[in-house]
A and B are shown apart, each in its own frame.
Chain A
Amino acid sequence: MDHQTAHKLEPEGDAPRRPVRELTAGEAVYLVEAFKGLGVTFRHFIKNLFNRRELPTVSYPEEKRDYGERFRGRHVLNLREDGTTKCVACMMCATICPARCIEIVAEESPTPAIEKRPKSFVIDGLRCVMCGFCVDACPCDAIYMTGEYDFAEYAREDFLWDLTHLTRRPSLADAPRGYRPRIE
């Protein structure tokens, strides 16, 4: 909610207001209350310093949070046993993608049994809304989403995830499982 709308939601005109209490003499002197506040901060500081395991925050990136198995993180293209991509460039994912961020160019596969494969496959990570529709649409069990959620990059181009990135990025070796279709 932006500032403007928040403002409008405040009671206006004749609408009843919460009664406002008069400040006591102590409160009226600003410094006393300020030091009381600092005391609260200091109390929490000491408590957290000696009870680090109960901290609600994690020290990212050294520490990472565990999400559920269905977390929809960065995509991966699944490979066959022989190392070729399972994707047959059917473009179902590109068709369903609401963000229109999947660009695939198809070509003839040298293996006649496979027939069709992607010549290029690019997901624009900056446009992807991580909805997972592409995973659901894929008839070939080819596209999954991993549990990877750290998306920081130095250049915009690095968000164009191409075939190499999708199939062989180094982090895939120990990438956590993420969203993939349930095979029944």
Chain B
Amino acid sequence: MADVTLTIDGQSVTVPQGTTILQAAKMRLGMELPHYCYHPGLSIAGNCRICLVEVEKMPKLVTGCSTQCGEGMVVHTQSARAKEGRGGVLEIMLTNHPLDCPICDQAGECKLQDYYMTVGMHDNHVVFPKVHKKKIVPLPPHIVLDQERCILCSRCVRFCQEITKTNELTIAMRGTHSEIEAAGDGTIDNGYAGNLHEICPVGALTSTDFRFQARVWWLKSHKSVCPGCSTGCNTWVDDRRGEVKRLRARENASVNQWWLCDEGRYGYKSINAPDRLKTARVKKTDATSGTAIGEVWARLKTIAAKKGGFAGIASAQASNEDLFVFRRLVAHMGGVADFRIDDSLTKTQTRVDEILRRADKNPNTTGAKLLGFGDGPGVEAILKSAAEGKISALYVLDADRFDAAGWTDKLRAVRTKIEFVVMHATRECGALDLADVVLPAATYAEKDGTFTNYEGRVQRFWRAIRPIGDARADGAWLATICAEFDAADAALAKPAAAFNAVASETPALGDLRWEMIPAEGALIAPGAAPKDKVG
């Protein structure tokens, strides 16, 4: 498409035809025009009018979000007229907006507060009473609506029309009495409702989950990746004093754009779960990390020395780094390993819907496959050879999933035939009774690492909080054990070292290195992913 050249605040910029003034200012000048109704992921409504700018030769101020750039346009965003216009719009918005800030969850990240400081700062001219509307309208299961706080930007309405296509919301009544209303039974259970409270620029839509949990200025945000399915949506993990309070979508045009699904968004609760495992266990009694590790390597060394027969079962919840160190251990023990404790492998390419969700509920199936875990005999076969007395030591890297996938009873049946069983777990589960040693594992929010999503995109996630109790990353435990066989393996406790070691051994990763993984993730082996099917 042809390009147009225009002048914004005295600077000449060239943008593709069809670009709006707001987008051009942001793209080329990094300048953020005030906006409420505009959202890059939704259609342009142009109804809030806070983005007013002055364009020479146009008689009136125009909205920056909906006016396309034209050849030779001269735009002033900071002229006295433009500023006065935006200030006036804000004043009108605040005529009926209640000053709920002490109660409102959005205080601290509210665009009304922000723009009042930058474009408002006016004295209140309003003499007549505010229009009152309904304050607490539940839109179960995730949302609470406050009609009074709503500025009718229609983002939420458009989200339900354009993204989920479920049309639960609409604007009813007219003029100052306009309000957001839910159609049908008043629920918004479309699997993506959490995005609504995230895109609402004011505190009109709040999250039942986060409501009144913390003031937002107390939260610290950390970049992360959702482990809820093989899409690997980019997230912000927000914590207060080491407790994760909420997840938010982190924009990544190549993966999740601006959205998260509800399952992923509210899935953080397992991190704070009351049944998190805090200490290591030897023979069902709590032990120090040192004792537990000592027990593991003493037993593994004798088993490795005499007859062998080692089997490892990982899961695709583990990061590439953790899996790599696990592979080292398997190699030292001369054993076999697999990761298919559920049917993740067959489901990687199956979508649950047209937006984000996938049937494979693991973040790293592709990574585990690339690391060679898919070439193993399979969990079924491992348990079968255990029944035949061919397995001396079993190492389960993710007891939580192992239990959830229903393997516990099958293992119990053959347990007496296995000399030594080690399990890593983040939470209590039935399988732990079958282990000689249990090591508490850190969740994804408590460690660094990478996941490789369904399309082969390697994405970094960052440690957000301290691991609970004695919990440590799987890779850190494993590296300590491996170091007993080969001192050099101790270095692999650091995810960066482990990743770079994987990368140098795995041709598919090319010359990708830890420090170079880009913000949008690195796509490896492009084209490897077969066509999606919607299941």
Contact = CB atoms under 8 A, between A and B. Distances in A.
Interface of A: 88-92, 95, 106-108, 112-113, 115-116, 139-140
Given A112-B136, A115-B135, A139 B102 contact: yes
Given A89-B212, A95-B215, A106-B212, A140 B136 contact: no
A90 B211 contact: no
A140 B103 CA distance: 10
Interface centre among B107, B211, B212, B217 (most CB of A within 10 A): B212
A109 to B, nearest CB: 9
A92 B102 contact: yes
Interface string B260-304: 000000000000000000000000000000000000000000000
Contacts of B107: 90
A115 B215 contact: no
Contacts of A91: 215, 218
A140 B101 CA distance: 11
A148 B102 CA distance: 28
A140 B102 contact: yes
B217 A88 contact: no
Contacts of A95: 215, 217-218
Interface of B: 101-103, 107, 135-136, 211-213, 215, 217-218
29 contacts: A88-B102, A88-B103, A89-B212, A90-B101, A90-B102, A90-B103, A90-B107, A90-B215, A91-B215, A91-B218, A92-B102, A95-B215, A95-B217, A95-B218, A106-B213, A107-B212, A108-B211, A108-B212, A112-B135, A112-B136, A113-B135, A115-B103, A115-B135, A115-B136, A116-B103, A116-B212, A139-B101, A139-B102, A140-B102
Contacts of B213: 106
A119 to B, nearest CB: 9
A142 to B, nearest CB: 10
A113 B213 CA distance: 19
B218 to A, nearest CB: 8
A90 B106 CA distance: 12
B207 to A, nearest CB: 13
A89 B103 CA distance: 7
Given A90-B107, A106-B212, 6 more contacts: A108-B212, A113-B135, A115-B135, A115-B136, A116-B212, A139-B102
Nearest to B208: A108
Nearest to A118: B212
A92 B215 CA distance: 9
A68 B518 CA distance: 63
Contacts of B101: 90, 139
Interface centre among A113, A116, A139 (most CB of B within 10 A): A116
Nearest to B213: A106
A89 B136 CA distance: 18
B143 to A, nearest CB: 14
A92 B514 CA distance: 42
Contacts of A88: 102-103
A91 B107 CA distance: 11
Nearest first, the 6 A-B pairs at minimum CB distance are A90-B102, A106-B212, A116-B103, A112-B136, A91-B215, A139-B102
Interface centre among B107, B136, B211, B215 (most CB of A within 10 A): B215
A3 to B, nearest CB: 40
A163 to B, nearest CB: 16
A87 to B, nearest CB: 9
Contacts of A108: 211-212
Contacts of A113: 135
A55 to B, nearest CB: 49
A171 to B, nearest CB: 28
Interface centre among B103, B136, B211, B215 (most CB of A within 10 A): B103
A6 to B, nearest CB: 42
Nearest to A139: B102
Contacts of A112: 135-136
A113 B212 CA distance: 15
Contacts of B135: 112-113, 115
A95 B102 CA distance: 12
A85 to B, nearest CB: 13
A91 B104 CA distance: 12
Nearest to B217: A95
Nearest to A138: B102
B439 to A, nearest CB: 34
Contacts of B218: 91, 95
A41 to B, nearest CB: 58
Contacts of B211: 108
Contacts of B102: 88, 90, 92, 139-140
